């Protein structure tokens, strides 16, 4: 094995999706999505609006790493993944995903989530990655709760939306659990999986 071969395990490209940097060409798409009826109240701005001029500051505030999830051979984002509020001294960061509901394969944004978590754990010595989500978005993570994700905290009736208060839930992915899943499960989403094709 070549001395630097470990570096090749830091991947942004999967078999079906890849993560690419967010650029100015994406800002209008994200701005529209973030202010849409379907996503706006449930996402970062929680129903508030920001000016197009200030949107890039909102988009990048507190961010450690952020990418667009794109499908093979397609340039437009189907989702975004983001790590923010990183605390290197304490070994944690927060993670967020947005599914832009572009109507493609429903698993592809989720594939992007796994590739991004692999990227975070490979690139920084995080002990755990937190997911902070409102109760109404918890279904996004339901199948992984008690498996890859563990609930670490809950602020009861924390946030108001649609006539009622909802819990805010903090989930966590621990490095040791992640590494178990990465070798047995996530590795199969990457190009070196048997028979898979490299990106052109």
The residue ranges that bind other proteins (CB under 8 A) are 15-16, 105-111, 113-114, 139-144, 147, 181, 184-190, 193-196
Measured CA to CA in angstroms, residue 85 lies from 6, 96, 170 at distances of: 27, 11, 14
Among residues 56 and 191, whose Cβ is nearest to other proteins? 191
Task: List, in sequence order, every residue forming a beta bridge with 165; answer none if it has no partner.
Answer: 160
Residue 30 C-beta: closest distance to other proteins, Å: 20
Residue 125 C-beta: closest distance to other proteins, Å: 24
Among residues 18 and 59, whose Cβ is nearest to other proteins? 18
Among residues 59 and 189, whose Cβ is nearest to other proteins? 189
Among residues 64 and 173, whose Cβ is nearest to other proteins? 173
Measured CA angle at 46 (ends 40, 47), to 5 deg: 60
Is the Cα dihedral 75, 81, 87, 92 positive or negative? Answer: negative
**Residue 172 burial (C-beta neighbours within 10 Å; 0-12, 13-18, 19+):** buried
Among residues 59 and 79, whose Cβ is nearest to other proteins? 79
Residue 15 C-beta: closest distance to other proteins, Å: 7
Residue 142 C-beta: closest distance to other proteins, Å: 6
DSSP H helical ranges for 73-185: 108-123, 175-184
Residue 106 C-beta: closest distance to other proteins, Å: 5
Measured CA to CA in angstroms, residue 141 lies from 136, 163, 183 at distances of: 11, 24, 20
């Amino acid at each position: 094995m070549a001395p630097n071969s470990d570096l090749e395990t830091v991947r942004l490209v999967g078999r079906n999706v890849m993560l690419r940097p967010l650029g100015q060409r994406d800002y209008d798409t994200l701005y529209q999505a973030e202010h849409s009826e379907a996503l706006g109240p449930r996402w970062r701005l929680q129903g508030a609006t920001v000016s197009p001029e200030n949107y890039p500051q909102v988009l990048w505030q507190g961010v450690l790493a952020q990418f667009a999830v794109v499908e093979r051979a397609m340039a437009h984002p189907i989702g975004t993944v983001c790590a923010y509020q990183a605390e290197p001294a304490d070994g944690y960061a927060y993670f967020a995903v947005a599914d832009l509901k572009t109507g493609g394969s429903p698993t592809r944004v989720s594939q992007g989530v796994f590739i991004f978590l692999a990227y975070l754990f490979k690139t920084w010595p995080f002990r755990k990655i937190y997911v902070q989500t409102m109760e109404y978005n918890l279904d996004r993570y339901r199948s992984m709760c008690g498996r890859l994700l563990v609930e670490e905290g809950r602020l009861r009736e924390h946030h108001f939306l649609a006539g009622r208060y909802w819990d805010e839930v903090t989930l966590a992915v621990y490095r040791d659990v992640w590494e178990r899943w990465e070798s047995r499960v996530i590795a199969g989403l990457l190009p070196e999986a048997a028979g898979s094709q490299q990106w052109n």
